[in-house]
Amino acid sequence: MLVRNALSGAIAIAIATSQVAVAADEQDEIRALEELVVTGVRMDTPLSMTIDAKKPRQPLPAHDGADYLKTIPGFSVIRKGGTDGDPILRGMAGSRFNLMVDGEVILGGCNNRMDPPTAYIFPEAFDTIRVIKGPQSVQYGPGNSAGVVLFERDDSRPAESGWDVHGSVVAGSFARQDQVLDATFESPSFTLRGNLNNTSQDNYVDGDGTEIHSRYHRWNTQMSLAWTPNDRTTLEIGAVRSDGEAAYSDRGVDGAKLDREGYSIKWQQRNVSEIIELVDFHAYQNHVDHVMNNYTLRTPPSSGMMRNPMAMNPSRDTSGARLALTLRPAPASEIVVGIDSQGNEHASRMTMNQNMRPYASLARSPDAEFDQRGVFAELGHDLGDRSRIVGGARIDWWQATDQRQRKALNMMVSLANPTAGETRQDTLHSGFLRYERLLRDFGSFGGAGATTFFVGLGHSERFPDYWEMIAKESADSLSAFHIDAEKTTQLDLGLMFRNGGWDGSASFFVSEIKDFLMIESGYQKPAADAMGMGGMNMSGMNMGMGGMAMAATRSASIVRNIDARTWGLELDGQYRFSDSWRAELTLASVRGANDSDGRTLPQLPPLEGRAGVYFDNSTWSAGLFWRAIASQDRFDLGRGNIVGQDFGPTDSASIVSINGGWRIAESVTLTGGIDNLFDKTYAEHVSRAGALIPGFDQVARVNEPGRTLWLRAQLSL
């Protein structure tokens, strides 16, 4: 089945192009193409890297943003099932790094992060993925203490009319199937682009053969129309719609609906004057409608509170705008100045018995509203041929309103909210300054042979997000609405080198975080603080032979401010033995300390290394890829971030994968591979704990997939 599905797509493409004759000069162009299967990503400018989103990768990513990002050194993913994991950059999760989807902000609806922003991102719908590590840019929204990830599409004006078509099909183990079509008709006057994605997979099994509740099906459509009357002007409108369902093995409900609907408008005016190079305006609106239930993708348990079919239906509306000017006051200087804004409203509804009281018949109750306004300026200035500085600053004005009239302690009990109707306002500041120096030059600045040193100092102030302010309690209140903003100051330094067959970088970072927002589960609070608020806390009651007794404490999930530090090292390198042979190596390590409590900082991934040897002559390719994960015994039980908390140590793991490829013609490639070749059973340290799901074996952690075979056929015209 696997071979038939993949080869059918490849053969169809090959037949369509079998009459294509490749001339000698075209052969030279093919030889210059990049590797067929991408396994590593290297820094291309200081603290920044750009990835071709349409390239086949190993390990084979799930068709969402998080699983794609985990193939990049420095990223990890908190697995919950087959898809919709939560990404972590340098040990930082949630809103500590910003995700921009073609210039837009997407926020999920689930109170417990079932649908993080990456759940609504389909990487192959974009042209490039750009990563900026650390607080080293202020152009892309507020609070980016760990960095920024930009999923971008090419919006350049075509020189002539024609079609640009990209398509791919994937077939793999566990009935994995992907179909992608990205077609563009372009002309100097207008460009029409449409994108269709469909992906599905059954439950996978780990290396021991244990089936993991993890099946999913997702689809996405995207359309844009751009008007380009001349080289200076672009006006574009766009729309996107996606939906799907996903099973989760870390909780008592699944994602029965993951619906997104979005609209956008962009306007660009280039070469306005001798100083103004670009005026860039972008406005957007996104609506997320998410349903969680215990009956669509699983069978409810036969007894207990979860035996009835129940459903929760949160939603979020997010809208925003950005206006930026790119200025060139002097040949050696570029300045980007602008304003941006973002607002979102969250609401939800739920039912404890879908059969008797369908959730769709209920009105949604709003619980929070956020508004942000920011101004920013970023400068790049060349100091001669060998040095330059890059710096910027921004100010953000935040306002949040707590619209909850009651605070839920659990699915059965809610109490009066002590901060109901309150509004808080904060003014936050961020900025950075980076120096870059060309130490040794074998060509031009940053050219074919060079060694570049860089050092940057950044400061970021992050407003608490919904999952910290609204979804949690504080240590001394039922509401965490007034928890302090987080403040990060970070030093980044490193080297980039390129000489002969060698190409790579080394970077180090150290940060000090004031008022770090840490989530602590199982926090013991006096039971009386709930009973005194006009509600009955059922978890504070103990039933025994003697009747009903009041417990002295109750367990809560809280957020609190601590002082913390993190530090880490990242290495990436490549050596080319010849035009066809190369070796790659990456290494990533991050550590942290909770200075307030004298403990390690939780939810940090262990030391990880990746190495590979590859043959690629631009017609045929083969590769051997090895990923080694160290054991992790530095953890803080029950503490972590908005996605998950530490629950114990993890063992080391060593995973070997192989891949191969054949470029049938310049526009047609067939690639394949085997991930986890030796069928190892392992789980990431920052995984989630397995839940007890009827019909499935209990697992301590959500284990990674076992041996996975995949084939991918791709057409690019």
Condensed to tens digits (0 to 9), the pLDDT of residues 82-112 reads 999 999 999 999 999 999 999 999 999 999 9
Q: What is the pLDDT of residue 528?
A: 67
360 and 311 Cβ atoms separated by less than 8 Å: no
Q: In this structure, are residues 716 and 667 in contact, taking their beta carbons and an 8 Å threshold?
A: yes
What is d(CA 52, CA 50) in angstroms, rounded to the nearest whole number? 7
CA distance 509 to 503: 21
Q: What is the dihedral of CA 673, 679, 681, 682, to 10 degrees?
A: -30
- Looking at residue 441, its pLDDT comes to 64
Per-residue pLDDT at 546: 39
Please, what sign has the CA dihedral across residues 250, 251, 253, 256?
Answer: negative
pLDDT value at residue 584: 95
pLDDT value, residue 19: 33
Give pLDDT, residue 291. 97
**CA gap 700, 98 in Å, rounded:** 31
Distance of CA 467 to the CA centre of its chain: 16
Residue with tokens 């006096």: 526
The domain total for the chain is 1
**Regions in the chain scoring below 70 on pLDDT:** 1-34, 441-449, 528-551
The pTM (predicted TM-score) of the whole model is 0.90
DSSP 646: B
Mention every residue, 6+ apart, whose C-beta is less than 8 A from residue 285.
262, 263, 264, 317, 318, 319
Q: How many CB atoms lie within 10 A of CB 464?
A: 28
Provide the pLDDT for residue 703: 96
- Among 301, 321, 319, 318, smallest CA distance to 310 is for 301
pLDDT of residue 159: 85
Q: What's the CATH code of the domain at 546?
A: 2.40.170.20
- At 407, list the tokens: 């605070």
Residue among 529, 545, 538, 558 at smallest CA distance from 638:
558
| Predicted pLDDT of residue 571 | 95
Q: State the Cα–Cα distance between residues 298 and 214, nearest whole angstrom.
A: 11
Q: Which has the closest alpha carbon to 222: 244, 197, 194, 198?
A: 194
Cα distance between residue 453 and residue 435, in whole Å: 8
Sign of the CA dihedral running 296, 112, 149, 428: positive
Q: Which domain holds residue 329?
A: 2-716
pLDDT for position 6: 40
